[in-house]
Chains A and B, each alone.
Chain A
């Protein structure tokens, strides 16, 4: 169940727009946050009810966008850009390195539920390639050593690396 605070936030969001339906993506973000990073069917259903939209419609719309997850994700999402500019500068090696280091394949979550490893399209940081995004944060001009350092900081709870 969405908290009352989240429900209120969604209502307020929707009122901003000339048509309340424009608030759908924003509402889904709120719901995803509340449900621990993904959108189970209950979450979609609740958003639908709250916004007066058919549940099927909401589920369909959510499924169009890659930032809405339909499967549970780990505590931290590691998104590795492997698009052209990053791969020109070694993103594929970086991804393989991360996969080895975490012991999981792309799309999987570590057994302790800490990390989900994802491959994503261009993050818009091609000038500082290769790049990864962990949760809300970009990490740029990466090397394997930098990645080690960043993950250490995160696992030891010291937040962002640089």
Chain B
């Protein structure tokens, strides 16, 4: 979103571009054009419903406030398949957890009894390559992209200007494998690594600042239900 995120976004675009432009070794093998199914040159759209869990790079900060740096997430989205191998995915997910505000001293957190709720909604756009072959029922894939992460933190006793809400851009790299259960239904397991640098302010105004953590990213492990061909 901001100029200082240009580098990670550009890096992600480069990775995606490379994945799209550079065919994998399997794709480079000689194949007979007449055997290629007509569907490979078409554009298909399928719906995605996902559930999983995520951990956060700012583990100490999330541990301090939420008592854990991991939690469940749920989401939905859509995949656009260009031919058999290229894909572009759009997804939105949501993480939400309750905790307590804290005092941090000497690296240790002391909850002060004031309830707080943190929700994070990443909107991800990724592109990548599916290592699809005729007859394969399990298709690995790799990709990367950019994301916009909407962060919201509310707490008891907060005045209107004391709750926090912002959106920060980051990038992600992903990999997984999908399994076609039927012509219209598939399941995928996916791991995503996200980075959202400079999301939290430094200094003594936040638990993350005191603990020296500023990245809203982390790792996501999710199962996707793919609806469509």
Decide whether A and B assemble into one complex. Answer: no
Which residues of A come within 8 Å of B, CB atoms? none
Which residues of B come within 8 Å of A, CB atoms? none
